[in-house]
Amino acid sequence: MTTAETTQPAAGQSFSELPLSPAMQATLQQLDYLTMTPIQAASLPLALAGHDLIAQAKTGSGKTAAFGLALLNNLNPKRFAVQALVLCPTRELADQVTQEIRRLARFEENIKVLPLCGGSALRNQATSLENGVHIVVGTPGRIMDHMERGTLKLDELNTLILDEADRMLDMGFHDDIAFVAKRCPAKRQTLLFSATYPEGIAQLAKQFLRNPQEVKLLEKHAGSKIRQRFYEVTNEDRLQAVATLLKHFRPVSTLAFCNTKQQCRDLLNILRHEGIQALTLNGDLEQRERDQVLIQFANRSISVLVATDVAARGLDIANLEAVINVDVTPDPEIHIHRVGRTGRADEDGWALSLCSHGDRRRVAAIAEAMGCQLTWSELGALDAADNSPLVPPMSTLLMLGGRKEKIRPGDVLGALTGEAGFTREQVGKITVTDQNTYIAVARDIARDAVRKLTAGKVKGKTVKVRTL
Ligand code: ADP
Ligand code: MG
């Protein structure tokens, strides 16, 4: 194996230095992708030259566009056959990847990207496949299903992507990945993307990649933009301390990491007791419930999302003002990864860690991995002088009817800013799913907005709306 780069390349290189078609370059401009992210700058020249790759970089670093451009570069839009396959650990991630590839593929009229995951009817997916698809993005189980039924044929595949490979291994997908990879044409390009680099990744690469180049961006972000603070607590006070931090720093959106599901549940109870709007993500939720949690957090109507590392990995959540390490993780790399979720895109971010005496050894390992001195602060010194409740700025309305009813965000925005008389600023993110539409509105107009939407019409029809 050759290690191409292990250091951080200069960020800010332009895409125009890459051998991409003018149409592709124009699309990138349209998307406002002006400079490459570090992982893109490190991996794209190698990927476009046809190498197999192992690429490691933290969540939110732009890995999707890195492999998206590589697979589009290998694609012949005139051939209606599956030429690229992206394996993802979960439906949410597959959906995010599908969206991003579709955006990147806009330069060509007719590139079909199909998500194939559980939770949607096999037969509908089979029909879509029959109609001709260029790129398939899906979870290993469902992809296998279609291969076994003969509805997914891979003889013309030229690019195989393993996205979030570490997480797929965590979730026990090794054998499924092997099943799929063994049935792909031997002559192909394989790119493996991962946020961390556990033992299993090297094994996987050895089995399914050919002379891979390795691109690792271990971020040492003791970061300019991320302000890290460590607080000593006793285990008894740990959960209450989270509320103290939130009331002092008053971040709009906080991701709180716990090491176990039970800890997540306990924290949720305490935060709710304190009147803080919090939800948790865990494997026990149904898919629709998970979607709802993420939508409400992303549109700023929930202050805190409580999660384990497994539940939170890979999710693209922008604008996090704070990350709280409720528990210290035994793995320094995971700590760096957690902390790296805040302070993105030139925003400041807080990374706050609660450590008991028993966590000392873990904390020392973190300090060493980050190559920096840790800043210890006193919880007692934090004032909760501002004792007003921590209230999220937005509130989410649930409207029945979504893509199936051909609802678009503009229809809802039109209804709210038209007859209902609200301003554009009072309306936040509008998310349309298959069955429902989620509308973020300024918290103080929520009631009024429900009333006016119910009394009026959206797309010429009366609608059912309630606050979530
Ligand atoms: P990762 O897979 O590494 O977690 P994503 O691919 O989800 O990260 O990218 C995170 C966000 O950054 C996405 O919203 C994406 O649209 C955006 N992004 C990716 N590349 C660029 C770029 N070169 N310039 C600006 N934004 C980008
Ligand atoms: Mg990703």
> For residues 214 and 242, is the Cβ–Cβ distance under 8 A?
no
Q: Which residues pair with 346 in a beta bridge?
A: none
Q: Mean of the per-residue pLDDT values for the chain?
A: 89
**Nearest alpha-carbon partner for 162 in 88, 79, 236:** 88
CA of 60 to the centre of ligand 2 (A): 7
Distances (CA, A) of 109 to 14, 23, 26, 450: 25, 11, 14, 39
Residue 110 per-residue DSSP state: T
In the chain, where are the structural domains located? 2-216, 226-381, 394-467
- Ion ligand 2 contact residues with beta carbon within 5 A: 63
Is 194 close to ligand 1, i.e. is its CB under 6 Å away?
no
Strands 84-87 and 2-5, bridge-based pairing: unpaired
User: Which atom of ligand 1 lies closest to the CA of 57?
Assistant: 3
Residue 421 has pLDDT above 80, yes or no: yes
pLDDT, average across residues 138-162 = 97
Quick one: which atom of ligand 1 is closest to the CA of 59? 4
Is any atom of ligand 1 closer than 6 Å to the C-beta of 62?
yes
Distance 455 CA to ligand 2 centre (A): 42
SS3 content of the chain, % helix, strand, coil (to 5): 40, 20, 40
* Amino acid sitting at position 378: E
Average pLDDT over residues 134-153: 96
pLDDT of res. 61: 87
pLDDT tens-place string over residues 42-55: 999 999 999 999 99
Question: Percentage of the chain with pLDDT > 90?
Answer: 66
Domains 2-216 and 226-381 alike in fold: yes
Cα separation, 262 vs 290, whole angstroms: 18
Enter the CATH code of domain 2-216.
3.40.50.300
Half-sphere exposure at residue 285, Cβ-oriented, CA atoms within 13 angstroms:
16
**Pairwise CA distance, residues 453 & 62, whole Å:** 38
> Hunting for tokens 């509320």 — which residue is that?
243
Is 70's pLDDT higher than 60? Answer: yes
**CB of 340 within 8 A of CB of 59?**
yes
Contact 33 CB / ligand 1 (< 6 Å)? yes
Tell me the pLDDT band of 99, cut-offs 50, 70 and 90. Answer: very high
Q: Answer whether residue 3 shows pLDDT above 80.
A: no
The residue whose CA has the least distance to atom 5 of ligand 1 is: 62
Q: Whose CA is nearest to atom 25 of ligand 1?
A: 33
pLDDT of residue 218: 63
229-248 pLDDT, tens digit each: 999 999 999 999 999 999 99
Whether residue 330 is predicted with pLDDT greater than 60 in this model: the reply is: yes
Question: Whole-angstrom Cα distance, residue 99 to residue 129?
Answer: 18
Give pTM, 2 decimals. Answer: 0.60
Please tell me the distance between residue 274's alpha carbon and the centre of ligand 2 in angstroms.
34
* pLDDT (0 to 100) of residue 186: 96
Give the pLDDT of residue 136: 98
Could you say which architecture CATH assigns to the domain 226-381? 3-Layer(aba) Sandwich (3.40)
**Beta-carbon contacts of residue 78 (< 8 Å; ≥ 6 apart):** none
* Residue 50 falls in which region: left (phi positive, over 0), alpha (psi -120 to 50) or beta: left
Probe residue for ligand 1, chosen from 31, 37, 101 as the CB with the greatest number of ligand atoms within 8 Å: 37
Examine the pLDDT at 78 and tell me if it is beyond 70: yes
Residue 7 pLDDT greater than 50, yes or no: no
pLDDT single digits (tens) 152-172: 999 999 999 999 998 888 778
Q: How far is the CA of 94 from the centre of ligand 2 (A)?
A: 9
Q: What is the pLDDT of residue 9?
A: 44
DSSP structure class, residue 339: H
- pLDDT band of 116, cuts 50, 70, 90: very high
pLDDT above 70 covers a percentage of the chain that reads 93
Q: Which residue has the higher pLDDT, 63 or 200?
A: 63
Q: How confident is the model at residue 225 (pLDDT cuts 50, 70, 90)?
A: low
**Is residue 466 scored above 90 in pLDDT?**
yes
8, pLDDT greater than 70: no
Architecture of domain 394-467: 2-Layer Sandwich (3.30)
Task: Looking at the CA of residue 314, tell me the nearest atom of ligand 1.
Answer: 4
Q: Which residue has the higher pLDDT, 408 or 68?
A: 68
pLDDT of residue 208: 95
Q: How confident is the model at residue 2 (pLDDT cuts 50, 70, 90)?
A: very low
Q: What is the pLDDT of residue 346?
A: 56
pLDDT digits (tens, 9 = 90+) for 428-444: 989 998 899 999 999 99
